[in-house]
Amino acid sequence: MNAATPHAASPALQQTALLASEPERAAYRDYDQPGMDRVRNFYRNNHQHQTLDFVRAKKAQWLGFGQREMTPWAALEFLNTLVDESDPDIELPQISHLLQTAEAIRADGHPDWFVLTGFIHDLGKVLCLFGEPQWAVVGDTFPVGCRFSERIVYPEYFALNPDSSDARYNSENGIYTPGCGLDAVHMSWGHDEYLYQLMKPYLPLPALYMIRYHSFYAWHREGEYGHLTDAQDRAHLAWVQRFNPYDLYSKNERPPVLAELKPYYDELMAKYLPAQLRL
């Protein structure tokens, strides 16, 4: 694998100390289990309203940053008041999910920037607390401006999206040229892109890939959209895939205790992040 930065760890280094077992994993992301109306409604709204115009408008609205300032801890504590409607698996406080993700990464001996990535990867969900609807913040992401893949969750709801019947946007490549690279592709708007843009100055490229594409299941799990990727994307796909089990399968009911771990995460955040985030 192409290690993009001197921070990059060996991709071979992977154990599963704090992850769910293989049989347990089969039960995750089951959208057919009872009580999924909440998730179904979420994706109906998401797929209907995530158009190219919408994404461009949200980028213009949020990527200037500087509307608010808070410490990384304050942002994490603020985030803790949110319950993610798109998550079929568990209603766990956000900070517990972040700690579990990060601790599972740490237990497997990965480098500190990878642990930090696990700890902050959902921080962009603060957008919900700034008044954005959940369908514009959480859930799986996908490219807009070209045909929606059938392998995206609840693909039937894309019939409600006006871009599906717009000839500029509904061909395989849409507004893009083949091999243009995902950096040139507009992803559906959400916490992933927002946090990626916020963290760009601070973290190594593999970490930025994990943050930006962690909800892009159609790519990292289903193998779709390869025609839009470039060499850098293909070299970093394995990092996104390496991150995914920690995000997904460390969602268990045995949350680590924040008070015990705070000094470690204080130090980690101070090493990489500014004292104040400009959100």
Distance CA 31, CA 40 (A): 8
Binding residue count for Fe ion, defined by CB under 5 A: 2
Least distance in angstroms from the C-beta of 91 to Fe ion: 13
Q: Would you state the structure tokens that stand for residue 239, as one six-digit string?
A: 């990092």
Bridge partners, residue 277, by sequence:
70
Nearer to Fe ion, 116 or 169 (CB): 116
Nearer to Fe ion, 8 or 92 (CB): 92
Distance CA 214, CA 247 (A): 8
Nearer to Fe ion, 169 or 196 (CB): 196
Helix 231-249 crosses helix 94-107 at what angle (to 10 degrees)?
110
Nearer to Fe ion, 84 or 224 (CB): 84
3-state secondary structure 95-131: HHHHHHHHHHHHHCCCCHHHHHHHHHCCHHHHHHHCC
Least distance in angstroms from the C-beta of 217 to Fe ion: 11
Stretch that binds Fe ion, among 9-17, 60-68, 121-129, 254-262 (CB under 5 A): 121-129
Nearer to Fe ion, 193 or 247 (CB): 247
The runs of H, that is alpha helices, within the chain are: 22-25, 37-49, 52-62, 72-79, 94-107, 112-120, 126-129, 191-199, 205-213, 217-220, 231-249, 258-272
Scan residues 230-259 and list those touching Fe ion (CB under 5 A).
247
Length of the chain as a residue count: 279
Least distance in angstroms from the C-beta of 46 to Fe ion: 14
Q: Tell me the three state secondary structure of residue 277.
A: strand
Nearer to Fe ion, 123 or 146 (CB): 123
Work out which of 122, 140, 224, 233 binds Fe ion, going by CB under 5 A.
122
Q: Which of 191, 189, 174, 190 is nearest to 225 (CA)?
A: 174
Binding mask 7-46 for Fe ion (x = CB under 5 A): ----------------------------------------
Nearer to Fe ion, 103 or 247 (CB): 247
Distance CA 160, CA 46 (A): 10
Least distance in angstroms from the C-beta of 139 to Fe ion: 9
Least distance in angstroms from the C-beta of 76 to Fe ion: 13
Least distance in angstroms from the C-beta of 11 to Fe ion: 21
Q: Which of 239, 232, 41, 229 is nearest to 135 (CA)?
A: 41
Q: Which of 140, 6, 145, 3 is nearest to 84 (CA)?
A: 140
Determine if 140 is a binding residue for Fe ion (CB under 5 A): no
Determine if 84 is a binding residue for Fe ion (CB under 5 A): no
Determine if 85 is a binding residue for Fe ion (CB under 5 A): no
Nearer to Fe ion, 122 or 193 (CB): 122
Stretch that binds Fe ion, among 83-91, 114-122, 159-167, 267-275 (CB under 5 A): 114-122
Binding residues (CB under 5 A) for Fe ion: these are 122, 247
